[in-house]
Homo-oligomer: A and B are copies of this chain.
Amino acid sequence: MMKDPLASYPGYVLRRAAHASGAELTARLEPLGLRQSDVSMLILIEANPGITASALGRMLDIQRANMVPILKRMEDAELIAREAIDGKSVGLELTRAGTAKLSKARAVIDAFEAELLERVPVEHRNHLLPALNALWREPDQQG
């Protein structure tokens, strides 16, 4: 049996866990024609109707330049609509089809998240989310 010293590195295990679970979620969303970033955007647009592309990008840590093709794809699929706020900014909203698609996606995601948590032994389960949130957000941003 090979030695695997990497198993004790939180950073490495984090990487592997994220990759594994990400690949699985991507596969489950594929039949809906959505990617992970699509769904997170749909969720945030639904929760914040009229949000601008740049504000959305800031929440998701996606650069403005990289938002363009993603939003274009979702607009072409008629999942979102853009409405001018002023001469510069554009607000985003879900279309009816977008809302319907999101509810399907949410079912997939909810099931997935539940299964994910089930894999974690009960004694660790409730610690996962707060621990990860602490890793992600800078200490001063956590308030």
Task: Give residues in A with beta carbon < 8 Å to B.
Answer: 2-22, 25, 36, 40, 43-44, 47-48, 51, 55, 59, 61, 109, 112-113, 116-117, 119-121, 123-125, 127-136, 139
The answer to whether A11 touches B48, judged by C-beta atoms less than 8 angstroms apart, is no
The answer to whether B133 touches A3, judged by C-beta atoms less than 8 angstroms apart, is no
Provide the main secondary structure of the chain A interface: helix
User: With a CB–CB cut-off of 8 A, which chain B residues contact A123?
Assistant: 127
State the copy count for this chain: 2
The answer to whether A11 touches B128, judged by C-beta atoms less than 8 angstroms apart, is no
User: With a CB–CB cut-off of 8 A, which chain B residues contact A109?
Assistant: 9, 11
The answer to whether A22 touches B15, judged by C-beta atoms less than 8 angstroms apart, is yes
Report A133 CB to chain B, min CB distance, Å: 6
Among B17, B22, B55, B131, which residue has its beta carbon within 8 angstroms of that of A127?
A: B131
User: With a CB–CB cut-off of 8 A, which chain B residues contact A125?
Assistant: 131
The answer to whether A5 touches B47, judged by C-beta atoms less than 8 angstroms apart, is yes
Counting from the closest, the 4 A-B pairs by CB-CB distance are: A18-B18, A127-B127, A124-B131, A17-B136
